[in-house]
Every structure is written in C-alpha cells, then in structure tokens.
Amino acid sequence: MKNEDVATTSIEQVTKKVPSVSFLGLAIGAMAVSATLMVLNRKSWANFVGQWAPTLLILGTYNKIVKTLDDSQQVERTGPTQLVTALKSVDELKHPSPLPLS
C-alpha cells in the first residue's frame, strides 16, 4: 500500500485474510449475548457486551475497504492493456452485440 508504514501494511495483510462475514457473525453474536445478559438481569454486563457490536461492524467495514483497495491497486499493477480489456468486457455487458439473423 502507498504511503503506509511496515506495521500498517503487515496488519492489513493479516486482516484481509479474515472473511468479512465473520465480523457480522461476531456482531450478531454479541447482540445475542447482550440480550441474554439483559434477560438474566445482568444489565452492566449486557451494556458492556452490547457495545462490542458497533466496534465489530466498523472493523468489518475496514476489512472490506482494505480488500477493495487492494483489488484496485492490483489493477493498477497489471498495466493499461489489461485495464482496457476489462473495460471493453464491461462495456460489452452493458451493450451486447446483436445476435446474427440466420
């Protein structure tokens, strides 16, 4: 990654291997545990665990952004000819050529 130190780059290399859906699962799990603790009349613990959900969702968003930026930088590294080919294929999807009448 550009303009980042070694520590940030190494952390991002490790965290981008984690599936994004795992952060969502952990956040939903934290909400379920929080609700259970609230029913068991453990309000302070329920509030503590319930505050994990937004943090986990933000981490999942960051994870997704890192993966997306890495993919876009991969396109930059491949060179302009591959990018033009990719753009042509996207354009063909938007405006397919008509089938021959035979």
* 45 domain residue, yes or no: yes
Domain that holds residue 35: 18-69
Q: What is the pLDDT of residue 8?
A: 82
Backbone angles phi, psi at 4, to 5 degrees: -130, 150
The count of domains in the chain is 1
pTM of the full predicted structure? 0.61
Q: What is the pLDDT of residue 12?
A: 82
Q: Residue 15: which of 59, 55, 69 has the closest Cα?
A: 59
pLDDT single digits (tens) 69-92: 766 665 555 555 555 555 555 556
* 84 domain residue, yes or no: no
* 95 domain residue, yes or no: no
Q: What is the pLDDT of residue 10?
A: 84
Q: What is the pLDDT of residue 97?
A: 65
* 65 domain residue, yes or no: yes
H helices then E strands: how many in the chain? Answer: 5, 0
